Amino acid sequence: MKAEQAFEVIKAMKLQMSGEEKIKLETMILNQAENEKYKLSQFLAKFNKKHKIKQIKNF
C-alpha cells in the first residue's frame, strides 16, 4: 500500500473512531515511525562502517 493510500485509509478510519481510539491509533503510528527510524539508523550505521563513510549528522 502506498503512503498516500494508507493516509486516506487512516483518515477515513479516524472519522469513525472515538477520541480514545484516535489516541491509540496515533500512538501506534508514532511508535511504528520511531521503530522504522531506529531500523534505518542501524542500517545506515552498518553501511557507513562497511564502506568507511563518516557518520551522517542530524538524522
How far apart, in whole angstroms, are the C-alpha atoms of residue 43 and residue 50? 11
pLDDT for 25-57, tens place per residue? Answer: 889 989 999 999 999 888 888 888 887 766 556
* Cα–Cα distances in angstroms (integers) from residue 54 to residues 38, 39, 46, 51, 58, in the given order: 18, 18, 11, 9, 13
What does the pLDDT read at residue 36?
A: 92
Q: Which DSSP category does 53 fall into?
A: P
Q: In 3-state terms, what secondary structure has residue 12?
A: helix
Q: Vertex 29, ends 37 and 32: CA angle to 5°?
A: 35
pTM equals 0.56
How far apart, in whole angstroms, are the C-alpha atoms of residue 51 and residue 11? 41
